[in-house]
Amino acid sequence: MAKLFLLCLFSILPALFCWVSSADLPTNYEYFTEGGIVAGLNADQRYFKLNEKEITIFSGAFHYFRVHSSQWRDRLRKMRAAGLNTIETYVSWNLHEYHSGAFDFGHGGSDFEEFLDIAEFIKIAQEEDLFVLVRAGPYICSEWEFGGLPSWLLREKDIKVRTSDEVFLKYVARFWGELLQILEPLQFTNGGPIIAFQVENEYGNTGNHDSEYLHALVSIYRDNEIKELLYTSDPPGAGSNGALPNELLMTANFNSNPTWNLDTLDSLQTDKPTMTMEYWSGWFDHVGEDHHTVSVETYSEIYEAIITHPASVNIYMFVGSTNFGFTNGASSLYSGLDNSGLQPDTTSYDYDAPITEAGEITDKFTATARLIEQYNPVKTKLPEVPETPERVVFEDIKIEEQILLRKIIDDYPEAVVSESIVSMEQLPINNNSGQSFGYVVYRKTGLNLREGAELKISGYVRDTVLVLLNGQLLNPVLSSKSDLDSFGYWRVKDSTVTLTREALREATLDLVVENNARNNYGSLDQFQQFKG
Q: Distance between terminal CA atoms of the chain?
A: 51
Q: How far, in Å, are 169, 213, 235, 288, 436 from residue 465 at the CA level?
A: 35, 38, 37, 18, 17
User: 162-178 pLDDT, tens per residue?
Assistant: 999 999 999 999 999 99
Contact 15, 36 (CB under 8 A): no
Q: Is the pLDDT of residue 436 over 70?
A: yes
Residue-wise pLDDT tens digits, 64-115: 999 999 999 999 999 999 999 999 999 999 999 999 999 999 999 999 999 9
> Which amino acid, 98?
Y
Catalytic-labelled residue, pool 278, 357, 425, 514: 278
Report yes or no: 345 and 328 within 8 Å, Cβ to Cβ: yes
With bands split at pLDDT 50, 70 and 90, how would you rate the model's confidence at 8?
A: very low
Quick one: pLDDT at residue 265?
98
Residue 235, pLDDT score? 97
440: pLDDT confidence band, cut at 50, 70 and 90? very high
Per-residue model confidence as pLDDT tens digits over 186-236? 999 999 999 999 999 999 999 898 999 999 999 999 999 999 999 999 999
SS3 368: helix
Contact 236, 205 (CB under 8 A): no
Average pLDDT over residues 291-314: 98
Q: CA 167 to CA 173: how far, in whole Å?
A: 10
Instruction: Give residue-wise pLDDT tens across range 462-507.
Output: 999 999 999 999 998 899 999 999 999 999 999 999 999 999 999 9
3-state DSSP call for residue 476? coil
- Round to whole Å and give the CA distance between 118 and 76: 14
- Over residues 241-270, the pLDDT tens digits come to 999 999 999 999 999 999 999 999 999 999
- Percent of the chain exceeding pLDDT 90 equals 88
Please state, rounded to an integer, the average pLDDT across all residues of the chain: 94
Half-sphere exposure of 351 (CA within 13 A, CB side): 28
With b meaning 16 or more CB within 10 Å and e meaning fewer, what string describes 302-322? bbbbbbebebbbbbbbbbbbb
The pLDDT assigned to 12 comes to 31
Q: Confidence class of residue 336 from pLDDT cuts 50, 70 and 90?
A: low
Out of 45-54, 208-217, 234-243, 329-338, least confident range: 329-338
Which amino acid, residue 97? Answer: E
Where does the pLDDT of residue 20 fall: very low under 50, low under 70, confident under 90, or very high at 90 and above? Answer: very low
Report the percent of the chain where pLDDT is more than 70.
95
Amino acid 335: pLDDT: 64
Q: Which of 88, 97, 145, 202 is flagged as catalytic?
A: 202
Q: What pLDDT is stored for residue 11 in this prediction?
A: 32
Residues 6 or more apart whose Cβ sits within 8 Å of residue 153: 159, 161, 168, 171
Q: Which amino acid is at 356?
A: T
Is the Cβ–Cβ distance between 139 and 162 less than 8 Å?
A: yes
Nearest-angstrom CA–CA distance, 275 and 58: 10
385-431 residue pLDDT tens: 999 888 889 999 999 999 988 888 889 887 899 999 999 999 999 99
Q: Determine the Cα–Cα distance for residues 39 and 288; give it in Å rounded to an integer.
A: 50
Active site residue 202: yes
Average pLDDT in the 25-43 region?
Answer: 98
d(CA 104, CA 96): 5
